[in-house]
A and B are shown apart, each in its own frame.
Chain A
Amino acid sequence: QCSPLNGFQRLKATQLMYLSYQREEYPMEVEECARRCAISFDCRAFHYNWQSHGCQLLRFTQHSPHTQLQRNVHCDLYQKKGYVRNCIMGDGSDYRGTQSVTEKKKICQQWRLKFPHDHRFALLPQNGLEENYCRNPDKDKQGPWCYTTDPAIRYQSCGIKKCENAVCMTCNGEDYRGFVDHTESGTECQRWDLQHPHRHPFVPNKYPDKDLADNYCRNPDNSERPWCYTMDPAKEREYCHIRKCTEKRRQLSSTTSCFRMKGEDYRGEVNVTSTGIPCQRWDSQIPHRHHYLPQKYECKDLRENYCRNPDGSEAPWCFTTFPNTRRAYCFQIKRCADNVEAEDCYRGNGEDYIGTVSKTRKGITCQRWNEQYPHKPQVFPTMFPTVHLEENYCRNPDNDSHGPWCYTMNHNIPFDYCAIELCAGETKPSIFLNPEEVVFDQCGKRDDRMQVLAPITGGRAR
């Protein structure tokens, strides 16, 4: 059930450039391309072009001299794990990294040399004995080693850590970004970017913050520990064995009267849902059975029956004490204010503002009015010669009722209001009423003949 892709680390939308290197591309499926590379000692990586379905085998990796990574949206770079991982799996005989000092900081001897230490290892493509890099050609249980340049010390282990020990995990391992790719029973993990042998919802593109890379163990769903889907069709998913960090986790700044982002650090004592239902205690299984036991989620502060967010939901939530409502959000808790401090004030709508504030209420730098990037302005200096559209200062050329604004340097946010507030004593004009002259366009129409659904009793009737 092995996938040849499992032996490779993928860099999305990336191409590896090598001086004067031009090799042909052959059309084939990505797994076939991986299989060909895997069995060739000469091949260290490959490009896969998703547009042309072309496969290009490479004899170098990003750590080879004279190479450079470049962005290419059509192409992914797959590199053999042994060449890019800085930890080892098993005895590390597939380690092909570039560490060249031993655990006691002795410099390694070049494998091609017989001095200061003579040896009988031949330089073969399959044993990877190049330069003076740590290697394990004899499958030593201590892992990769080398002859040293110190005549008094013939050889020494390089002390390269096993992947399961190289990176430890805190809390429930939601932030684990290490390279373990086998479960605790030793089963190989399925790549997150593949849907076989197990179909699953954790498509890497949908979870950009979860680092669902290759087939490494991760915890994208706030389980107890990192896990993966396995290559065994009979075993959907399994936990991985990863060392727990002994040092205390850095305490993130928690909030008690409001919540930030998704409220994972909210530590207040609100214990009813936004609709007024009292919360169930986290240490109780009544009325709702659940696996969020306080002792298993020590960093989540599952105290009493307080609203918390142990699973990365949209906001703090709790199981409710109503048997028919399993869980509900505590959306009534306010979000913490996240605007930067206002640096100036304006009068009216700020149409006469000529100050020099040049950042938005979120602290993003404004784009210059005469620039075309990142946003192509539809308001520019020559259009409003009297408004002083200078530099990247906040202005209000269109008399926006919400105050001075600017185009922003964030390509996702075309424009935003500025870190300026209404001057003290200024009031906005009150709303007015003129309903008789209202004219609407084509929107807001519906077919009321299909309004009523029959009560749904099993079947889905109209």
Chain B
Amino acid sequence: IVGGRPGNSPWTVSIRNREGVHFCGGSLVKEQWVISTRQCFSSCEADLSGYAVWLGTLYKNPAPDDPDKQAIPIIKIICGPSESQLVMLKLERPATLNRRVALICLPPERFIVPVNTECEIAGWGDTRGTGDDNVLNVAKLPIMSNQECNISLRGHLKESELCTSPLFVSVGACEGDFGGPLACLTHNCWVLEGVITPSRVCARKDRPSTFIRVSLYVDWINKVMKLS
């Protein structure tokens, strides 16, 4: 995260490859289910044995005896509707919820986040020298309307995306944050409104950031959890 600061985002998970190296983020939506982005995974039928999610730790490389860390193998990947670029990862066992690990709410179906709602992105990715690369960083970003965003992006925005406003300084997601959450506080609850997707640049102060709009895919998410 560029322009963020060390923080607490108990639903943000780190996705690790077979060597235990972090490569993407994700969000814990049920004890045994994580949402991330398709771009992080080789295939919708990938054999993910050896891959795991790490939860509960604020550090990118926690000590082996870190009592807060939960490392849970991934047993299944399910790809979302093609244009969604979402994936759901089923974990081998349910995560234990505690002060460090929490679920994030799903938004109501087709819900539009009100403009200027204060949201957060979180991840263990590159900070571009703006912070500590070894800890979970969090940054605040306000929601921008799709109409206004589309003008800024010259008509390239899809209805299945949502935007946050550019700030006066560079703030945004970067390498290693992809798949992680855009979480917004609504009615005193943190809601997963967006998923961070790869973009060509990290955090430009003159352009809005775009995310996958989760509310369009809530029916699919619930169906996956019900049928799998």
Q: Does B198 belong to the interface (CB within 8 Å)?
A: yes
Q: Does A105 belong to the interface (CB within 8 Å)?
A: no
Docked pose: A417 CA to B81 CA in angstroms: 7
Distance in Å: Cβ of B199 to nearest Cβ of chain A: 7
Docked pose: A362 CA to B190 CA in angstroms: 34
Chain A residue at minimal CB-CB distance from B177: A275
Q: Known: A207-B50, A444-B191, A448-B8. Is A332-B102 also a contact (CB below 8 A)? A: no
Q: Known: A275-B202, A325-B126, A456-B132. Is A400-B114 also a contact (CB below 8 A)? A: no
Chain A positions within 8 Å of B224 at CB level: 414
Taking a contact as CB atoms under 8 Å apart, the answer to whether A361 and B82 are in contact is yes
Taking a contact as CB atoms under 8 Å apart, the answer to whether B175 and A443 are in contact is no
Taking a contact as CB atoms under 8 Å apart, the answer to whether A455 and B191 are in contact is no
Chain B interface SS verdict (over half): loop
Q: Does A386 belong to the interface (CB within 8 Å)?
A: no
Q: Does A410 belong to the interface (CB within 8 Å)?
A: yes
Taking a contact as CB atoms under 8 Å apart, the answer to whether A441 and B105 are in contact is yes
Which of A262, A361, A445, A452 has the most chain B CB within a 10 Å cutoff?
A: A445
Taking a contact as CB atoms under 8 Å apart, the answer to whether A434 and B134 are in contact is no
Taking a contact as CB atoms under 8 Å apart, the answer to whether A432 and B112 are in contact is yes
- Residue-wise, chain A 350-391 has the 8 Å CB interface mask toward B (1 for contact) of 000000000001100000000000010010000000000000
Taking a contact as CB atoms under 8 Å apart, the answer to whether B6 and A453 are in contact is yes
Chain A residue at minimal CB-CB distance from B128: A275
Q: Does A415 belong to the interface (CB within 8 Å)?
A: yes
Docked pose: A455 CA to B215 CA in angstroms: 35
The number of A-B residue pairs with CB atoms under 8 Å apart is 173
Chain A positions within 8 Å of B78 at CB level: 413-414
Chain B positions within 8 Å of A414 at CB level: 78, 224, 227-228
Docked pose: A441 CA to B108 CA in angstroms: 11
Partner of A444, one of B47, B134, B190: B190
How many chain B residues sit at the interface, stated as a range, is 35 or more
Partner of A440, one of B23, B189, B216: B189
Distance in Å: Cβ of B217 to nearest Cβ of chain A: 8
Taking a contact as CB atoms under 8 Å apart, the answer to whether A335 and B38 are in contact is yes
Taking a contact as CB atoms under 8 Å apart, the answer to whether B219 and A401 are in contact is yes
Q: Does A208 belong to the interface (CB within 8 Å)?
A: yes
Chain B positions within 8 Å of A417 at CB level: 81-82
Chain A positions within 8 Å of B186 at CB level: 435, 438, 440
Q: Known: A314-B23, A445-B190, A450-B8. Is A435-B114 also a contact (CB below 8 A)? A: yes
Docked pose: A327 CA to B38 CA in angstroms: 21
Chain B positions within 8 Å of A208 at CB level: 47, 49
Taking a contact as CB atoms under 8 Å apart, the answer to whether B110 and A451 are in contact is no
Chain A positions within 8 Å of B20 at CB level: 201
Chain B positions within 8 Å of A415 at CB level: 223, 227
Distance in Å: Cβ of A227 to nearest Cβ of chain B: 16
Distance in Å: Cβ of A187 to nearest Cβ of chain B: 25
Q: Does A274 belong to the interface (CB within 8 Å)?
A: yes
18 further A-B contacts with Cβ under 8 Å, apart from A314-B41, A440-B191, A447-B8, are A201-B18, A208-B47, A274-B199, A275-B201, A275-B202, A276-B202, A324-B129, A325-B126, A331-B198, A332-B200, A400-B223, A410-B45, A432-B112, A433-B111, A444-B183, A446-B102, A446-B190, A453-B135
A and B contact pairs by CB, cutoff 8 A, 7 listed: A274-B199, A325-B126, A402-B220, A417-B81, A444-B104, A447-B99, A453-B135
Binding site for B on A (CB under 8 A): 201, 203, 205-209, 261-262, 273-276, 313-315, 324-325, 328-329, 331-332, 335, 338-339, 361-362, 375, 378, 398, 400-403, 410, 412-417, 430-435, 438-448, 450-453, 455-456, 460
Binding site for A on B (CB under 8 A): 5-11, 17-20, 23-24, 29, 38-45, 47, 49-50, 58-59, 63, 76, 78-79, 81-82, 99, 102-105, 107-108, 110-112, 114, 126, 128-129, 132, 134-135, 159, 174-175, 178, 183, 186-187, 189-191, 198-202, 213, 215-217, 219-220, 223-224, 226-228
Which 9 A/B pairs are nearest by Cβ-Cβ distance? Answer: A206-B50, A444-B105, A443-B103, A444-B190, A331-B198, A440-B189, A453-B6, A444-B189, A402-B81
